[in-house]
Structure 1
Amino acid sequence: MRTSFAALAAMIFGLAGTIGTAHAETVLRFAHTQPASDTHHLAAERFAKLVEERTKGEVKVEVHAAGTLGNDSAILEGVRLGTIDIGQTGNPFYTRFAPRLNVLDLPYLFRNYEQAYKVVDGDIGRSLLGDLEERGMKGLAFWEIGFRKVTNSKRPIRTPADLKGLKIRTTPNPAHVKAFEIFGAIPTPMPFTEVYMALETGTVDGQENPLNIIRSNKFQEVQKYLSFTDHAYTVSVVSMNLRKFKNLTPEQQKIVLDAAHEAAVYQRQLNRDQAANDLKAIEEAGVQVIQDIDREAFKKLVFEPAKKGYTDQFGSELVDKITATQ
């Protein structure tokens, strides 16, 4: 009997030790909708590696790619409610929670990458990420989607008039929708995970995204023309459930924030390094690439109306600060 009690005591002690160890280790689920070949996934893996190394294994990140935990809207809802710990998707999907973020999607607001990075990594970016806390999310960093280009299956796009009547999948962002309405297209927002099928079946004629997104999602297989309109620069946002973030120790919180920013820098550089290969892959698939675009004609049509739509609601301070950034 003594032996049985001793064995039982040892089992209980061992179980208690196991439970204590489990509680000491935090596992965070990170969800996004891009394929494993995309730079967002590579950056997410880099983020996970940095967090685990710097917390000495106390915090681990499991990355779930390609929409396995849901489409963009479902991922953000999951982050907000806490059923998903960390999510990454394009800024336009966040704007229904934090509408001030719409400023980053105004057409032709950013002149180049350097201006965009100064804005989103500085005081303006930190202020905008702070808006997410009112909706239960902690903004960790701005990653990058990039300068958007138009693909379609109907005809080359060189001027705004060429877009007239084309059904173009856009994000749900009001500035994007408004811009394509002004161009005479038929903007058709839909979840990103449905875009390839919609292009393949002709539900929409085209879509608009940067080179890396076009190539990694194989849109070149179902599109004939690519036009360098560069009509908007788009960031993606990495956010975490606010309660889960606050449950981390202050040291762990800093590690997570630093790792998210370092992964952003890494991902942006990957995009620059891979741009030539992305374009080559698209061209080799038989897509006609049009780079002689009358961008000033596009900008002249949409910049002021889109800007007014934003400033009427939020004032001109943010827009003015961004346009003044060198």
Structure 2
Amino acid sequence: MRVQRLFRQARIPLLCSALALGSAIFPGCAKSAGPDPDKPLVFRMGIVDGETSPVYAGARDIAENVERNTDGKIKIVVVTGGALGDERGSVELCSQGDLDIASAANSVLTNWIPEMSILDQAYLWETEEQAHAAVDGPVGELIEQAAEEKLGVHVIGYLESGFRDTFTTTPVTTPEEFAGIKIRTMQNPYHMAAFESFGAMPTAMAYNEVFTALQQGTIDAAENAVSNCLSNGYYEVTKDVVFTKHAFTYIPVMMSDKSWNMIPEDLRKPFEEGVREGCIAQRQYLKETNEEAIEELKKKGVTFHDIDTSVLKEKYQAAAKAKGFTFDPEWQAAVDEVLREHPAPSEE
């Protein structure tokens, strides 16, 4: 399979393990490989996903592209599985200058940049083009400015886990069938408000508790990227997946100011270009991973359902209005610009 080929390179994971162990004993930031100034700079990058994920595939490409673009003068070691801390912890380490490169979902960053909560709205984007245009354009500029001002980090790229769908233990084929469904969501007021507006009963719980909760009937459903239904084994108890596409998740990649300033001026542009190339490649990896997950899940007896998302969007927007959800005017203007410049096909 194509996705399997994406993960066949073992060079970075091996180096990753060695540095992860060294980092646990001697915490610190980027290092030259020795006293020789011609030795490469080595940066550590932390991700919470494992080596079979499209996020890792993108991080791997970032590392390879940066090394190639800088003629081996800068290397990035990708440390997987949250070995350098969970998302919030790694952001804090990066902000303090104790981790070179961190990654975290946009929802996590709202702890420091509350204006970013505008991205947590349900049905903010209808297409991947809109979502990408936002961070490649005016919304990305605001994120980068705020991250530097409030966290002292440089946002150098955007990985993603994309649109989130819903997997359930009982079929949901119409908006009305969400009534009474107990669903695990993130502790996010906008995601929870969305499922409440659909008639479901959202509950927040730790991600590692979801499988058992589904198995025991504590919850009836969960939501995430389709590929997670396969990789986490949820298909064993959730035999139905609903294409709700209710939210889009970004994973900004941040570099500490301390590490950023270690990059020589003449290498910054090729460094940034290498990161950008890796992030763009990851978008395709994610698409392929989800497509292959759908085919694999079908073989395992999972049924997929389309649903009228326009009805779900209307329900959420009515609930959002009733709850008085409002956002920073500058950020709202940036979102409106994206929607105006990149209308959904139905709006053209």
Distance 1:204 1:35, change over 3 A: farther
Larger deviation, residues 268-277 vs 139-148: 268-277
**Does residue 77 of structure 1 match 2:92?**
yes
Question: 1:223 aligns to what?
Answer: 238
Cα deviation, residue 213, structure 1: 3.4
**Does residue 180 of structure 1 match 2:195?**
yes
Question: 2:47 aligns to what?
Answer: 32
* SS of residue matched to 1:188: strand
Identity %: 30
Partner Cα separation in structure 1 for residue 133 and residue 286 of structure 2? 17
Cα deviation, residue 202, structure 1: 4.7
Question: 2:154 aligns to what?
Answer: 138
* SS of residue matched to 1:301: helix
Cα deviation, residue 308, structure 1: 7.9
Partner Cα separation in structure 2 for residue 20 and residue 89 of structure 1? 33
What is the one-letter code of the residue matched to 1:303?
Q
**Does residue 243 of structure 1 match 2:258?**
yes
Pick one of 311, 321, 326 that aligns with 1:312: 326
Cα deviation, residue 254, structure 1: 2.6
Deviations 1:120-168 (A, max 9, x none): 2113212222211121221111222111100122x11233443334332
**Does residue 298 of structure 1 match 2:322?**
no
What is the one-letter code of the residue matched to 2:316?
V
Query: Does the Cα contact within 8 Å between 2:175 and 2:312 map onto a contact in 1?
Result: yes
Query: Does the Cα contact within 8 Å between 2:134 and 2:335 map onto a contact in 1?
Result: no
* SS of residue matched to 1:70: coil
Query: Does the Cα contact within 8 Å between 2:122 and 2:313 map onto a contact in 1?
Result: yes
In structure 1, the gaps of 5 or more residues are 1-16
- Aligned positions of 1:270-281 closer than 5 A: 270-281=285-296
Distance 1:141 1:309, change over 3 A: farther
Find the structure with the greater CA-based Rg. Answer: 1
Partner Cα separation in structure 2 for residue 75 and residue 24 of structure 1? 27
Cα deviation, residue 47, structure 1: 0.7
Cα deviation, residue 197, structure 1: 4.9
Query: Does the Cα contact within 8 Å between 1:107 and 1:306 map onto a contact in 2?
Result: no
Distance 1:101 1:83, change over 3 A: same
Partner Cα separation in structure 1 for residue 179 and residue 116 of structure 2? 28
Cα deviation, residue 280, structure 1: 0.9
**Does residue 267 of structure 1 match 2:265?**
no
- Aligned positions of 1:1-326 closer than 5 A: 19-21=34-36, 24-133=39-148, 134-153=150-169, 155-200=170-215, 202-291=217-306, 293-306=307-320, 312-315=326-329, 316-326=332-342
Partner Cα separation in structure 2 for residue 191 and residue 91 of structure 1? 18
Larger deviation, residues 220-229 vs 74-83: 74-83
Partner Cα separation in structure 1 for residue 124 and residue 33 of structure 2? 54
Query: Does the Cα contact within 8 Å between 2:139 and 2:335 map onto a contact in 1?
Result: no
Deviations 1:5-44 (A, max 9, x none): xxxxxxxxxxxx9851389532222111222111110111
Query: Does the Cα contact within 8 Å between 1:35 and 1:217 map onto a contact in 2?
Result: no
Cα deviation, residue 301, structure 1: 0.6
* SS of residue matched to 1:151: strand
What is the one-letter code of the residue matched to 2:242?
S
Give the alignment's TM-score, normalised by structure 1: 0.83
Distance 1:298 1:79, change over 3 A: same
In structure 2, the gaps of 5 or more residues are 1-31, 343-348
* SS of residue matched to 1:262: helix
Deviations 1:258-291 (A, max 9, x none): 2221111101112233433110112222222212
Size of the aligned set, in residue pairs, is 308
What is the one-letter code of the residue matched to 1:81?
Q
The two structures, once aligned, show a CA RMSD in angstroms of 2.7
Give the alignment's TM-score, normalised by structure 2: 0.79
* SS of residue matched to 1:130: helix
Cα deviation, residue 179, structure 1: 1.4
Larger deviation, residues 45-54 vs 301-310: 301-310
Partner Cα separation in structure 2 for residue 199 and residue 21 of structure 1? 55
Question: 2:6 aligns to what?
Answer: none
Deviations 1:32-63 (A, max 9, x none): 12221111101111111112222233322111
What is the one-letter code of the residue matched to 1:48?
A
